[in-house]
Amino acid sequence: MVIDDNPGAEKFSRSEEAYQRLRARIRRDNLSPGDRLPGEPQLARELGVSRVTLRRVLDRLMAEGVLERRAGAGTFMRDRGFNGPVILDLASLLSRMEDLSAGLVIGETDVQDVAPPLTVFGALRLRPGDSVRRIARQRLRNGQIFAFGVDYVPLRLADRLSDADLANDWLLGALIGADCSVERGLQIAGAEAAQGDVGRMLNLVSGDPVLSVARSFYDSLGRGVLHSQLFFRADRHTLSFDALRAGFGLRRVES
């Protein structure tokens, strides 16, 4: 008998897949404000998920302002319409990451082989029982604490990293240099309050604002190569990047 010690992982994966498929259908069908979506039983069958998972997906789209539920009538497109995803050029992102790393010095470091947290399990598309190498490192610039990052590498790839690689800020570059293919990247930026290790490593008081960036990278087979969680002191860093809209507006970007 196999016991899954991460029971939420499959639920997370199915929900995310259904969410992306429903978003794609909305774009493909060119639904307009006020258009009604099929009923929940039909949508659940088409997406191959349970009604519980479907409602989680619909609730997420309603929270984003894409859909609205009308009592006794069904689920409809909201008046704000639906915009396509914003695509960042992977080559540009990698070069900027490398440039940023050039001026950084690695401070306190902690390396452990651990069971992946749920968000990391989903981001790296791992299988039940898979472990990851967790690499937590403090970044310094000009002698000042600049950032704190936690990198997660699947154990099937982690042994390719040497001690010298761990002393280099740009782990993705080290993995690429070790013949790991990287075909796709996903980046999510936000802000949150400093807590626990993040506050301690950035020398901040609990509750102070920090900028956060989560990055996931995948090979040509869609397998996770690296998931990074980066936290920056808000008083020493700003985020700036160029973005192109895919499939909408004046210019179409094929991805």
- Among residues 34, 62, 82, the one where a domain terminates is 82
Question: Do residues 93 and 217 both lie within one domain?
Answer: yes
Tokens linked to 173: 């570059």
From CA 204, how far away is CA 211, in angstroms rounded?
13
- Among residues 82, 110, 125, the one where a domain terminates is 82
**Exposed/middle/buried for residue 115 (C-beta within 10 Å: 0-12, 13-18, 19+):** middle
pLDDT at 113: 94
Report the SS3 class of residue 157: helix
Question: Do residues 66 and 124 both lie within one domain?
Answer: no
pLDDT at 224: 93
Report the SS3 class of residue 135: strand
- Is 177 within a domain? yes
List pLDDT tens digits, range 41-96: 999 998 888 999 999 899 988 887 888 998 888 999 886 434 444 444 444 454 45
Closest by CA to 242, choosing from 95, 99, 92, 100, is: 92
Question: Do residues 13 and 116 both lie within one domain?
Answer: no
CA 136 to chain centre: 18
- pTM more than 0.75: no
- Is 216 within a domain? yes
- Is 243 within a domain? no
Number of domains in the chain: 2
CATH at 12: 1.10.10.10
- Is 238 within a domain? no
Question: Do residues 42 and 124 both lie within one domain?
Answer: no
- Is 3 within a domain? no
- Per-residue pLDDT tens, the chain, 255 aa: give them: 233 333 333 333 577 778 877 887 787 677 778 889 999 999 999 888 899 999 989 998 888 788 899 888 899 988 643 444 444 444 445 445 444 555 667 788 889 999 999 999 999 999 999 999 999 988 887 788 878 889 999 998 988 888 777 766 667 777 877 777 788 888 888 888 888 888 888 888 888 888 888 889 998 888 999 999 988 888 776 655 555 554 444 344 433
Range of the domain at 16: 8-82
Question: Do residues 101 and 179 both lie within one domain?
Answer: yes
- Among residues 82, 115, 148, the one where a domain terminates is 82
- Is 47 within a domain? yes
pLDDT at 238: 60
pLDDT at 13: 56
- Is 214 within a domain? yes
